[in-house]
Chains A and B, each alone.
Chain A
Amino acid sequence: MDLSVINPILLLAALMSAATPILLAATGELVVERAGVLNLGVEGMMIVGAIAGFIVAVNTGSPALGFIGAAAGGAVLSLLFVFLTQVALANQVASGLGLTLFGLGLSALMGQSYVGVKPPRMADLDLGPLSDIPVLGRILFSHDAMVYIGLLIVLGVWAGLKFTRAGLVLRAVGENHDAAHALGYKVKRIRTLAILFGGACAGMGGAYISLIRVPQWTEGMTAGVGWIALALVVFASWKPWRVLLGAYLFGGITQLQLNLQGAGVAIPVEYLAMSPYIVTIIVLVILSADKSRAPGSLGRIFHASH
C-alpha cells in the first residue's frame, strides 16, 4: 500500500469533471419533478444527447456546437414524453420507461456510422491568472467550460425556484396542479417547458460523457448514469444544492475508490466499489431528516376537467 501515489489535487480536479454528467441530468430532472412530473426517461434522453452532440461536434468540428446539439437532441426526445403524458395523458412511469428504451435504441441507430470516430477536443477554459493559483487553480480553475456551465445551471435553478415569480408558479403547479389551474396558470404549458428543460440538461449530461469524459461513441455508453441521477433527485429532497452535494460526493468517492484500489489499500474491493452509493445515500438521507417532502402533485396526471 502506497498512498503517496494518490495526488489529492488531481483527485479533486477529477471529481468535478466526473460529477458533471450526473449533476446536469439530475438538475434537469429536479426542475421536471418540481413541476410535478416524474420523467423516468433520463437515461434515454442522456444517451440521445450523447450521440446527437457527438454527431454535431464531429460534423462541425466544434464541441460547443455539439453541446447545443445535445441539448436540442435531449429536448426533442422529451417532446415525445410531453406528447404522451401531457397531451395523451398516459401514465408517466410507463411513458418514462418507454422513453429510455426508445432512446437507447434510437441512439444505437443514429450512431452506427460513428463508432471509432474521434470527436474534436474541447479545450480547457482559459481563466488566465486564476488557473495559476497554486493547488486551488488546478482543482477549481482548469476545467472545460461545461463544468462551470453545470454549476451555473445549478445556481440558476436554485435562484430561479426560490426568488422568481416563474419559479413560484412552477412550484405551485408541482404542489397542487388543480389549485394552480384555478388561479389561471397554464399547467400544461409550464410542465411542457419544464420537461423540455429537463431533456436539454440530460442531453448535455450525456454529451459530456461522449465528448469529454470518454471521448468516443459507444452504444449504451451512459451505462445507467441516468438512473443514478433520478435517485439523486429523490435523496436530495428536490433541492438544487443537495443535488450538487450528492453529485460531487458520488463522483468524488467513485474517483477516490479507483485511486485507493490503484494504490493497493487493504480495504476489500467490494466495499470500495459500493462506497459511492452507500455514502451518497447515507449523507443525503441524514440531510433529508428535515421536513422536506416530494412535490404534492408528483406523478399525477392533470386534466382541466377535474
Chain B
Amino acid sequence: MTFTKLMATAALTLGLATGAFAQDKTKVGFVFVGPVGDGGWTYEHNQGRLAVEKEFGDKVETVYVESVAEGPDSERVMTQMALDGADLIFTTSFGYMDPTINVAAKFPNVKFEHATGYKRADNVSTYSARFYEGRAIQGHIAGAMTKSNIVGYIGSFPIPEVIRGINSAYIHAKKVNPDVQFKIIWAYTWFDPAKEADAAKVLIEQGADVILQHTDSTAPQAAAQKAGNVITFGQASDMAQYAPMPRVSSIIDNWAPYYIARTKAVMDGTWASTDTWDGIGPGMVGIGEISDAVPAEVKAEALALKDKIASGEYHPFTGPLKKQDGSDWLAEGETADDGTLAGMNFYVEGIEGDIPQ
C-alpha cells in the first residue's frame, strides 16, 4: 500500500515537473521481449517505433528497453518508463499482459497498449494482428510442397495466438494434402537461437521437410539451410536473407501505421481504450514474396487465397470443422467468432498430441 502511494506521489510530482517543461514533446515507450536485432518479432516492432520517430520528428521522443523478461521484471521496466514521463507505452509480448494491467492501474494518466493480450482497462488498449490469416497461406504452401508429408512446427508457448496459428496452418495443409501430419515441438521460449536451431534439427531428423516456426529468431532458417531440401517461412519479419531457399515466403508484421495512429491520438487527446485486431486486408499482416522455389501453380493458388482472405470473402476458420476430440465446432459455412479465436485452447481434428496445459 505504501509502495503504491509512494509511486503515485512520485508519478504526480514527476507529472507536474515534466508537465511544466516538456508539454510539447510526446514521450512514447516500448518494452521489447527480445533484442531489436532478432530479425523477427522485436525487429518489426522496432521498425514501427522508428516509423513513429520519422513521422513526428521533434514532436515525439521514443524510448525502448529490449530483452525484458516476461513477469515481474517487465513490471519494473514499465513503472520506470511511466515515472520517466512516458505518455504512451507499448508492451509488445503476450506475457506482459498482467504486468501492464498492474502498472496501468498505478498510472491512470499514462496510456498503455498491450500487444496480443485480451485484458483491457480505461487506459489500456490491446492490439494484435490476425497472423492466422498468414498461417493459412503458409499451410497451403506447406501441404502442397511437402514430400515426406511431415510438417514440423516450432511453437513457443501454448497460448491462443500460437495454437490459432497451428490450427490455421494445419487446416489449409490438410485441404491440399490429406496425408499431411504435423509434428509440434514447444520450445518454451520466444528467443533462444541455439534451442530453436536444435528443435528444427530434431524435426528434420524425424522426417519433416517443411519447418514452420512461431519463435522470433532466424536460427531455424539457418538450420534448414544447412540440412538442405527443407523449406521454411519467415516469421514476423521477412527474413529475406534466407530466400529463395529455404525461406519460400513469410508473414510480415507491419505495426508502423498502428503505432503512428495511436501516437497521433495521444497528441490530439483523442486516445481511447480499444481492441484492434487487423489482418491482411488492412495491411497489418503482410505476406512476403513467394520465392521461385514454389511451383508456379502453388504460388498462384496461395496468392488467390491471400486475395480472398484480404477481401473478407473467405475466413480461414470456416466450417465444417471439428475439434481434436471429434466434437463439432463449426457447421458447414459457419465462421469462427473472434471470442473463440481469441481464447483458442484446442486443436482441430487431425492434429496429434496434446496442448500443454
Contacts and interface: CB of A to CB of B under 8 A. Distances in A.
Contacts of B353: 264
Interface stretch (B2-10, B32-40, B168-176, B295-303): B32-40
Contacts of A255: 198, 202
Interface string A239-279: 00000000000000011001101111010111001000000
Interface stretch (A90-98, A132-140, A207-215): A207-215
Given A7-B205, A108-B35, A220-B35, A258 B198 contact: yes
A213 B218 CA distance: 13
A49 to B, nearest CB: 14
Task: Classify chain B's interface size.
Answer: 35 or more
Contacts of A220: 34-35, 38, 67, 191
Given A14-B201, A223-B194, A262-B206, A115 B185 contact: no
A215 B222 contact: yes
A214 B37 contact: no
Interface in B27-84: 34-39, 67
A270 B185 CA distance: 12
B353 to A, nearest CB: 5
B201 A264 contact: no
Contacts of A118: 222, 225
Given A116-B39, A219-B36, A269 B202 contact: no
Contacts of A254: 195, 198
A273 B186 contact: yes
B198 A223 contact: no
Contacts of A224: 192
Contacts of B202: 14, 255, 258-259, 262
Contacts of A104: 67
Contact of B217 (A21, A221, A270): A221
Interface string B193-223: 1110111011101110000000001110011
A224 B39 CA distance: 19
Contacts of A115: 37, 39
Interface string A98-121: 000000100010011001101001
B222 A18 contact: no
Contact of B192 (A10, A14, A223): A223
B152 A218 contact: no
B273 interface: no
Contact of B194 (A10, A116, A214, A269): A214
A111 B206 contact: no
B120 interface: no
A108 B37 contact: yes
A216 B6 CA distance: 46
Contacts of A121: 226
B194 A213 contact: yes
B222 A216 contact: yes
A259 B353 CA distance: 14
A268 B188 CA distance: 13
A264 B194 contact: no
B86 interface: no
Given A220-B67, A223-B189, A215 B39 contact: no
B318 interface: no
Contacts of A18: 194, 198
Contacts of A21: 194
Pick the most buried of B36, B39, B205, B222: most chain A CB atoms within 10 A of its CB: B205
Pick the most buried of A10, A14, A104, A269: most chain B CB atoms within 10 A of its CB: A269
B35 A262 contact: no
A263 B208 CA distance: 12
B38 A214 contact: no
A209 B194 contact: yes
Contacts of A216: 193, 218-219, 222
Contacts of B308: none
Given A254-B198, A259-B202, A270-B356, A218 B37 contact: yes
B24 interface: no
A112 B39 CA distance: 11
Nearest to B201: A14
B255 to A, nearest CB: 19
B183 interface: yes
A116 B199 CA distance: 20
A165 B344 CA distance: 65
Contacts of B203: 262
B184 A218 contact: no
B334 interface: no
Contacts of B226: 121, 215
Top 6 nearest A-B pairs (CB, nearest first) are A219-B35, A116-B241, A219-B37, A269-B356, A223-B192, A221-B193
11 contacts: A14-B201, A14-B202, A104-B67, A216-B218, A219-B35, A219-B38, A221-B217, A254-B195, A259-B205, A261-B185, A269-B186
Interface of B: 34-39, 67, 152, 158, 183-186, 188-189, 191-195, 197-199, 201-203, 205-207, 217-219, 222-223, 225-226, 241, 352-354, 356-357
Given A14-B198, A273-B186, 11 more contacts: A18-B198, A116-B39, A121-B226, A209-B193, A214-B223, A220-B191, A222-B194, A262-B183, A268-B357, A269-B158, A269-B188
